[in-house]
A and B are shown apart, each in its own frame.
Chain A
């Protein structure tokens, strides 16, 4: 019962009035940075880091961590209400979250995302508590060959996303891959399509593209269809008669989705660099493939919202494992947390939890409390957020443009990214008009560079031999899982849809 006593010790450290206050502040700041599109947790953390200089490190790390996982709660709110992902990990939440809101179920969707976030976050912390040492081995077994295979597995998601109109879907994905080639070539150091611009050295960041394609594209479409002439409400309808709380069916039908999303999200989160974005996209496509009603996905299926939401929160917990057990940050946000540890003169690494038990277990214990706090804040704040959609669209629309522009600009202070966002907005409008797939474009932009870099690293390491994928146990595992998914998912899908048809016929 070592773990238990450690956890109690952690709780005794976390539950002091001042630390609880820090936790509350962190949770609220996290919600806010999550809500603002583009302005993600890493930017929020970096800005608040200097404030923590004079603070007690334990309280400070609790606050910073709460900002980090709190942003996962906030990020979904705009995904659901405005089709604008608050940050990268909530792109997948727009797929069904926004249609749900359009169908008049904004309230239940927001509550379910808070519940899903809570479940994902809490399952994630429980897994950290019990399995941290074991999962640190998982983080250790991933090198370039495994990342390449993981990216390939992610591409399966692309197949799901391309959907029925495959020609337009493939074109969308190819545009994404093309955009992914911009930037300094990692291997040779030569600029590709940077045109001498210092701002394009790092390539095209996918946040401005995602905000433009989803948020602005949707907005332009709303104006195109004359939405601004309506008195109140926009594309999203909300009426008093409709129930605010989710129905029992919402909970029951998504209970396994929540569990699957949590475990999948956690495992992907543990792998440094894969992170919450890939986790949420994979959870979405897995759920869609397993669903009895895959045709309902993208049209407002609750499971399609719950899956990415549990996954991204569980992944953000999972990403704490390489940080705490190896001192390796798995994402931009955990890199800022690592910087904080270093600032306080700590040495994150395999001995960290042993040498600083108060810090490590105080942090883990605070994550249990933090998730509860966030659930409570979300539930209280939802009625406020729902008010947004009552604002007349001719007023709301320009506000969204300003918020998107501000959020995008804050991240890197780059005008080029601002132009990219507006350009992506126009492209997004036409994609929407002609039935292209913005989701496939964004996913290709994320996975393309990842796959390319990992493959080239692998080939340098193996001196051009593909045999390396079969030499490494972790690689072989991923190949087996991918193959199993390829074979099993279509089968399951067929059985599922067959059963669905039978039901319909029977009813």
Chain B
């Protein structure tokens, strides 16, 4: 607990220090971005994953609409569940020419391993979308909707499957169950594929997961979607209520956003906020959100930092209460 608070406070202190520094240095106060400077774009995961696809989509949009004047060098710096890539960005402290996209591991990796950085250390640009989860039961189940599910869960012992424990898959049903007043056994799997197989084979009662990979099974009626954890239901899940709709909002999501190194110049932060405001308006971005069934939740600058801290605090609290982390 103390460890975490100190880092938060340190983050706030460095921020306070950074502001006057940026003003004091006239060189940085010049035009941002300088077209002669190459933008060093770090992807903290390997090619083909969710983080990679998001980063490359944004870079494509920047190039298509000519939103960044200089060259952009995109590099996959994978390793240690993001620790390597974001560690690299952390090392570019003070620069406005390093940039990276975030995903769930941005919050969970520092909770699990001794990373020198915390999410709140970085200069926040924008939260662009959140990865949210859908709670599903087997299509052959008698449970037709979320009210029936809650009623059933209050009367019977149930199991809910998800991927991993230090993960949103565990946090979301735990917080939802607390809010709705039921108990369940969480069964942790290694991948979405494993947990889906377990649900289809009627080994578990329900599972939570990203809707994208299981839309086909929901369409065919093999799985039944009951409730969605995001702020608004994606088009593909029309008719499914959100947790807020049923009165048990939990306010925890996996952040897909954009960050700069710690203490990046204010001009750089401002430039990227304005640029991302244009990126999220493009049809390409809308198509990305739809194909990946993300929730388009947008927050800029310091609001994004607050969101990251709240998410991490929420995670840490739940995980500590079950003993998963110290």
A binding-site residues for B, Cβ under 8 Å: 43, 45-47, 49-50, 139-146, 184-191, 194, 196-199, 201-202, 272-273, 322, 326-330, 335-336, 338-339, 342-343, 345, 347-352, 412-414, 453, 457-458, 460-461, 463, 474
Contacts and interface: CB of A to CB of B under 8 A. Distances in A.
Task: Give the residue among B216, B219, B324 with the most A Cβ atoms within 10 A.
Answer: B216
B270 interface: no
B216 A349 contact: yes
B215 A349 contact: yes
A199 B165 CA distance: 17
Contacts of A328: 193, 196-197, 200
Interface stretch (B92-100, B145-153, B181-189, B240-248): B181-189
Task: Give the residue among A327, A338, A352 with the most B Cβ atoms within 10 A.
Answer: A327
Contact of B216 (A145, A199, A327, A461): A327
Interface string B105-128: 000010011110000000000000
A342 B191 contact: no
B217 interface: yes
Given A343-B53, A461-B204, 10 more contacts: A50-B56, A188-B323, A189-B325, A196-B114, A197-B113, A329-B193, A350-B216, A412-B78, A414-B79, A457-B187
Interface string B40-79: 0000001111001100100000000000000000000111
Interface string B146-179: 0000000000010100001110001000000000
Contact of A272 (B170, B197, B219): B197
Given A350-B217, A350-B222, A412-B79, A191 B112 contact: yes
A347 B219 contact: yes
B213 A338 contact: yes
A142 B215 contact: no
A144 B198 contact: yes
A355 to B, nearest CB: 9
A143 B159 contact: no
Nearest to A141: B201
Given A190-B323, A351-B220, A461-B203, A342 B212 contact: yes
Contacts of B166: 184, 189
B214 interface: yes
Given A144-B198, A413-B77, A413-B78, A273 B193 contact: yes
A347 B165 contact: no
Contacts of B186: 460
Nearest to A196: B114
Given A273-B197, A461-B203, A186 B188 contact: yes
Nearest to B319: A189
Task: Give the residue among B82, B113, B292, B322 with the most A Cβ atoms within 10 A.
Answer: B113
21 contacts: A46-B46, A50-B48, A142-B197, A189-B166, A189-B324, A189-B325, A191-B113, A198-B81, A326-B222, A329-B193, A330-B193, A339-B53, A345-B290, A347-B219, A349-B220, A350-B216, A414-B79, A457-B189, A460-B185, A461-B203, A463-B185
A49 B49 CA distance: 10
Nearest to A329: B193
A46 B48 contact: yes
A330 B217 CA distance: 16
B194 A272 contact: yes
A413 B198 contact: no
Contacts of A352: 216
Contacts of A201: 80-81, 109, 112-113
Contacts of A335: 191, 193
Nearest to A42: B48
B25 interface: no
A461 B217 contact: no
Nearest to B194: A273
A461 B48 contact: no
Contacts of A139: 197, 200
Given A352-B216, A461-B159, A198 B115 contact: yes
Nearest to A347: B216
B30 interface: no
Contacts of A144: 187, 198, 203
B194 A326 contact: no
Contacts of B213: 327, 338, 342
